[in-house]
Structures are given as structure tokens and as C-alpha cells.
């Protein structure tokens, strides 16, 4: 098969067929060594050769969205691809259901496999996950988000002679020297194999963001450690495993939980010393050099770095060889895209101190921040420009959650977008960049308006955005076609939320839509960043996180209706709202 040709009136979108064609071409032009070179450019040839000696490239996987899975199979067979029968995909279906808050039985996901010969003549496969999206199925948001973020696209290696030692060694090499991060996994009892997933570094230049490592047999020890090193959401919900400490006894697990505050301070100190900037500026600086650059006590800095290594922030095979940043540590660089450096300073600074007053909040229902500092969070920061600036930069640090939003909304009929309490304007600027015909209005406090002015200028949208200094609790600009309310409602109790929503509803024309960005509390016990953030809101501002049902009730009381919600990065969600 040289290309995938869609017949006339084909139900499958051309971009999906192109994605399959690209996967086939990738397999044909790569072997195991080529895959390792593409995904792990930081490894030296000897290290890649060692990995290749114990693993083999088996398949490339993509997710596409035909009107009919069976119809897609016929298209591909007509194009010359020897596609086998359709088999259902429960795993991908359930992941999509959790990701977008859809009932699993409303998603029809099938797997298509076709043999493709790799560059070295070995047999491989293209693995095609296909979510059927008939016309009018209401899955446009899912399709747009998955096409933008490529959650399910991956390359796969099989361990050629699997045992616990080899598998543990491969895994350790991928995580440390390969700068990958653990991204879930599991044991497939039906196929008798263990699967480990890895998230690739962002600088590989390939369209594949994940690596799948397969090993025949059950390897519970390695799997348990791997699941524990992913995010809480990745570790949750996997039978027989209870997180990073699943192999420890209850006392050890409790002691590890108790040291969480120490990790917060270690990250805050690393951010204050700009360790990540120094590690990025020089190749493998050793301890003496880092102590010189940071003006710190050499031995004490070494002890901090050893702790940061256990947290997955830095890595080193031997301190004498110098230190490297991991993908997690890269996010502490001040110049990194979506840098979390300001958040590390904020969480290790004012919020760390106020969280010490959590007992007061739990006993009284009042903010620990006010109890400690003698003023509400917003008032206290407003009187201290340096803290107000740090807070605004901290909010901007989570802007990665905004990435998919412009692709989730049809902007063709929109003319004016109003961002209420829009911070530094990051979300609005992304939407304005996505649709050059749009005009924007951003309402914020006076000092934040200046930050938004800089954002708009950098994005090239300054001439299309009117900045208004004002208080959204008093008035909201009227007449917009699309309104934005990002991470605002969780700052307030229900009564104040209703006042805000009613004010926006009064400003909205009948045709307008409101987009709300918030974290949603899970309704099924699933792990989520919204759960600790809810306690944070209790202690620091007197607000709260809410379930989608709670938001739906508030919106209905304010004369609005929740039409849908879609998962975003960083455990956030996009709620789409219309007038009732």
C-alpha cells in the first residue's frame, strides 16, 4: 500500500486517513534502532544499542474518527491495506469515557490491525483505534480534543526475553536516561502480558507522544513501581494496585504521606535557587559548580538534590557525572513553556503558611489565610504588589489547560469575545489567534490589565482587544457573542457564585454562549487534582471546587443551562453554557 485513497463520498475524514497513512509510512521507514533514535535523542548510540538488544519494534497506533468502523475497514482494504476483522476496544473506550465524562455505552470504539513491514524487514502492525462518530452524534468536542492532543497515538516495543531484571532495567533506562515519564500500564490476563506506558519528552520532533513497552507474563513488582510513578490520575483505578506505596506497609506509607510538606518546600527552594535554569544552561554541571552558581553550601545542596532525584525532578547515575533535569524538572525553568516556577514559589510561600491553618478552617468553616494574615486573600495581595504579581504569574502558569479550547468551539459565527476576570489574557489571546475575525474585551483589575496588555501584544492581538479596568462583581460588558469565565467561580461560595452568574446572564444576548473553565470534583471516587484543590480553596479563599451536577444546579438557578463539559489538561474541564 503506497497511500490510503478515500473513495468518493467516503465517510472518513481525510485528515484521519492521512494519519493512518503517516503511521504506515513511519513503520516502513523505521526499525527498532530508528524508533529509539526518534523517541530518545538524548541517549548515546551504545545506550540505544543496549535497549535494542532487549526489545523490538512491534507497532504504531493511532486514533481516528470514521462515521462507521466497518466502513473505515472497507476503505482501507480498498486502498490496499490488509486490515483484519474489527475487535472491540474496551480499554480505549473507557479512557475516552472518563476523559470526557461520557457514558461508556455511548462510545463505539473498535480496533483494526494490518500487517506492515518495518525498515529492517521485520513484521510489524499498524494499530488503528476507531471511534465511530456518525453525523449528528454530538461527539465534535471529543474529536477536536483528541485530534489536537493525540492521547492514544503511540509506538510499541516488545521485550524479547522478558524477566523481572531485564524489564526493570529497560524501564529505569527509559525514565532516567531517556527522560520519559511513567504514564500508566496494566496486566492483560487475556493476552498474558504486562504493559508499561511512557510519556515521551516534548522535544523528540515525532508525532508520537507515548511509548508502549510489552513484556510477556505477569510482572507485578515492576508494574506496581511504574504505576506509582505516574500522576495520581494515572495510578488510580487499576485493580490490585493502590498507588506509589502499594509495595510498602501501612506505617511506611503513612510516613511517606506525612512528608508531603517537605516535598513542597524542596520544590520551592529549588525554584528560588533557579536550579532548573542553571541545570539547563550548562551540560551536566557537578555539585561544586551548582553550589557556586547558586551561592549555597555544597554538601547541603547535594542533600537537596538527592531528595529532588527521589521526587523525579533531577536525575544522575553518579553525582560525579553531573545532574540532568527530568521532564518534570524542566517545568521549573523560568523560560519553559507553561513554566510552573511561579506556582512552586507560591505554594511554598504564602499558601504554605496559610495551609498550616487548615485546622482552623475545618473547625470554623472560615479561611485559614484570613485567620493568619488578618485579611482576605485578594485584599492582602492587592496591598502587596510583589505578591499580586506572583499570584497572577502563578495563575498564568497553569495555562496549559487552555490549549484545546479554541479547537473545541465553533467560532465562525462569533464576533465579540468577552473575558470576565481574564487575568493576564492568556485564554483570550489563544482564542483571538485562532480566529482573526474576532474582537476581544477583557475585564480585570487595573494591575492585571497591564499584564494582559503585554500578553496581547506578544500574541499580535493588541489591536483586536479592548482592555477594561473594573470589578466584575459590579458590572460585566454586555453584548458579547461568547463569554469566558476561567477559574473564577471556585474562588467563591454558592451565594456569591450565583450573583456573578446572574450578572453575566443579564449581560449575555440570547444567542451568546458562556465558557466556564474549572476543575470538577469526581462523582465516582476517581482520583483528581480537584480534590486537594477543594481543600486548598477552603483554607485560602473560602471558595470550593464543585461537581458538574453542582455547577448545573447553580447555573439553572441563575437562568442558565449547562449543555456539556469536556476534559482539559491538568484535570480541568470546559463547561459550555447557554441561556435557559
Q: Which of 282, 266, 271, 294 is nearest to 323 (CA)?
A: 282
Q: Any residues with CB less than 8 A from the CB of 541 and at least 6 apart, and which?
A: 367, 369, 376, 377, 378, 491
Residue 130 in contact with residue 187, Cβ under 8 Å?
no
Rounded CA-CA distance 67/139 in Å is: 11
Q: What letter would DSSP give residue 489?
A: G
- DSSP assignments along 501-569, one per residue: HHHHHHHS-TT-EEEEEEEB--SSS---THHHHHHHHHHHTS---B-HHHHHHHHHHTTEEEEEEEEET
- DSSP assignments along 67-119, one per residue: S-HHHHHHHHHHTT------EE-HHHHHHHHHHHT--GGG--EEEEEEEEE-T
SS (H, E, C) 238-295: CCCCCCCCCCCCHHHHHHHHHCHHHHHHHHHHHHHCCHHHHHHHCCCCCHHHHHHHHC
Residue 519 in contact with residue 545, Cβ under 8 Å?
yes
Cα 310 to Cα 48, 109, 392, 432, distances in angstroms: 25, 39, 30, 42
Rounded CA-CA distance 234/522 in Å is: 15
Q: Which of 219, 490, 536, 565 is catalytic?
A: 490
The C-alpha cell at 78 is: 480498498
Which three-class secondary structure state does DSSP give residue 441? strand
Residue 574's H or E segment, with its range, is strand 572-579
Rounded CA-CA distance 259/261 in Å is: 5
Rounded CA-CA distance 181/144 in Å is: 25
- Other CB atoms within 10 Å distance of the CB of residue 236: 19
Active-site residue flag, 437: no
Q: Which of 150, 238, 148, 134 is nearest to 186 (CA)?
A: 238
Q: What letter would DSSP give residue 46?
A: H
Task: Give the catalytic positions in this structure.
Answer: 490
Amino acid at each position: 500500500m503506497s497511500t490510503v485513497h478515500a473513495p468518493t463520498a467516503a465517510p472518513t475524514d481525510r485528515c484521519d486517513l492521512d494519519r493512518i497513512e503517516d503511521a504506515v509510512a513511519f513503520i516502513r521507514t523505521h526499525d527498532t534502532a530508528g524508533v529509539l533514535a526518534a523517541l530518545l535523542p538524548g541517549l548515546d548510540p551504545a545506550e540505544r544499542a543496549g535497549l535494542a538488544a532487549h526489545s523490538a519494534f512491534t507497532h504504531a497506533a493511532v486514533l481516528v474518527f470514521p462515521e462507521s468502523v466497518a466502513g473505515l475497514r472497507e476503505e482501507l482494504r480498498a486502498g490496499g491495506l490488509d486490515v483484519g476483522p474489527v475487535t472491540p476496544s474496551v480499554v480505549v473506550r473507557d479512557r475516552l469515557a472518563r476523559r470526557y465524562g461520557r457514558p461508556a455505552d455511548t462510545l463505539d470504539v473498535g480496533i483494526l490491525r494490518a500487517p506492515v513491514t518495518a525498515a529492517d524487514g521485520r513484521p510489524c502492525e499498524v494499530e488503528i483505534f476507531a471511534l465511530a462518530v456518525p453525523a449528528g452524534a454530538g461527539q465534535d468536542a471529543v474529536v477536536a480534543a483528541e485530534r489536537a492532543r493525540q492521547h492514544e497515538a503511540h509506538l510499541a516495543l516488545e521485550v524479547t526475553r522478558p524477566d523481572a531484571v531485564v524489564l526493570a532495567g529497560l524501564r529505569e533506562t527509559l525514565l532516567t536516561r531517556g527522560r520519559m515519564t511513567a504514564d500508566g500500564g496494566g496486566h492483560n490476563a487475556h493476552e498474558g502480558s504486562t504493559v508499561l506506558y511512557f510519556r515521551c519528552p516534548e522535544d523528540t520532533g515525532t508525532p508520537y507522544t507515548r511509548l508502549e513497552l510489552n513484556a510477556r507474563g505477569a510482572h507485578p513488582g515492576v508494574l506496581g513501581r511504574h504505576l506509582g510513578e505516574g500522576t495520581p490520575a494515572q495510578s488510580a483505578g487499576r485493580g490490585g494496585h493502590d498507588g506509589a506505596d502499594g509495595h510498602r506497609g501501612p506505617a511506611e506509607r503513612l510516613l511517606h504521606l506525612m512528608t508531603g510538606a517537605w516535598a513542597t518546600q524542596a520544590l520551592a527552594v529549588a525554584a528560588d535557587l533557579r536550579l532548573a535554569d542553571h541545570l539547563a544552561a550548562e551540560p551536566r554541571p557537578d555539585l561544586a559548580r551548582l553550589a557556586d552558581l547558586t551561592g549555597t553550601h555544597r554538601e547541603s545542596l547535594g542533600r537537596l538534590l538527592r531528595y529532588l532525584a527521589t521526587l523525579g525532578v533531577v536525575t544522575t547515575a553518579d553525582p560525579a557525572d553531573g545532574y540532568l533535569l527530568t521532564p518534570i524538572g524542566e517545568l521549573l525553568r523560568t523560560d519553559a513553556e507553561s513554566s510552573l516556577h511561579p506556582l512552586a514559589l507560591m505554594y511554598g510561600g504564602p499558601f504554605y503558611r496559610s495551609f498550616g491553618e487548615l485546622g482552623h478552617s475545618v473547625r470554623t468553616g472560615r479561611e485559614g489565610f484570613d485567620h493568619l494574615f488578618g485579611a482576605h486573600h485578594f485584599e492582602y495581595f492587592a496591598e502587596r504588589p510583589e505578591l499580586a504579581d506572583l499570584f497572577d504569574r502563578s495563575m498564568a502558569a497553569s495555562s496549559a489547560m487552555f490549549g484545546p479550547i479554541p479547537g473545541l468551539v465553533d467560532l465562525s459565527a462569533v464576533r465579540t469575545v468577552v473575558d470576565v476576570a481574564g487575568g493576564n489574557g492568556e485564554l483570550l489571546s489563544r482564542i483571538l489567534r485562532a480566529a482573526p475575525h474576532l474582537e476581544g474585551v477583557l475585564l480585570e483589575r487595573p494591575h492585571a490589565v497591564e499584564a494582559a496588555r503585554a500578553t496581547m501584544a506578544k500574541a499580535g492581538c493588541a489591536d483586536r482587544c479592548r482592555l477594561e479596568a473594573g470589578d466584575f462583581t459590579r458590572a460585566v460588558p454586555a453584548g458579547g457573542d461568547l463569554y469566558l469565565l476561567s477559574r473564577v467561580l471556585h474562588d467563591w461560595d454558592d451565594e456569591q457564585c450565583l450573583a456573578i452568574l446572574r450578572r453575566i446572564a443579564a449581560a449575555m444576548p440570547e444567542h451568546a454562549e458562556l465558557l466556564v473553565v474549572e476543575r470538577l470534583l469526581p462523582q465516582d471516587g476517581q482520583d483528581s487534582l480537584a480534590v486537594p484543590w477543594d481543600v486548598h480553596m477552603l483554607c485560602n479563599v473560602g471558595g470550593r471546587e464543585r461537581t458538574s451536577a453542582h455547577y448545573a444546579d447553580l447555573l439553572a438557578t441563575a437562568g442558565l443551562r449547562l449543555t456539556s463539559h469536556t476534559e482539559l489538561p491538568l484535570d480541568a474541564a470546559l463547561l459550555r453554557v447557554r441561556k435557559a
